[in-house]
Amino acid sequence: MSAVNGRATIRAATPADVAAIFALMMYELAEFEKLTHLFIATERGVHDALFGTRPAAETLVAEQDGEIVGYALFFQNFSTFLGKRGLYLEDIYVRPSMRGSGLGTLMLKRLAALAVERQCERFEWSVLDWNQNAIDFYEKMGATVLPDWRIVRVTGELLERLAR
């Protein structure tokens, strides 16, 4: 555990945290990113992805006075060019009332330490192009926002069609 101001901590999530993490995803992150219309995850699905028989991701939680006020969901990936594993941050979210408290910085530092500990060659994530506050924060932390890469995605019916 790491403390920010004596009351806030960053720790690995447990199965008991899933409801709080899911609530932050559904009611806060999706709303903030203006993507509630795309949010179809279920609490059970998140639980299975984090703590099922074949976990797909891990999560850190930021806790203040016993309440989860942020989370960082991540997983390992692999770079063929580097021939090494990497750590990919899918989500990082801190409640607006806690922004500027150091929790986001502490979560990123903890994830960077995990990446080093796991012998990852890189630590990366995506950011929405309109989220200038996040871009500025990441650049201040030493990250580079890559201008020449785009996310490519196939979902739903198009994914089904591609699979045939």
Catalytic (active-site) positions:
138
Cβ neighbours of residue 163 under 8 Å, at least 6 residues apart? none
DSSP bridge pairs for 84: 79
**CA atoms of 51 and 138, how far apart (whole Å):** 29
Sheet with 84-94, edge to edge strand ranges: 2-3, 8-12, 58-64, 67-79, 84-94, 122-125
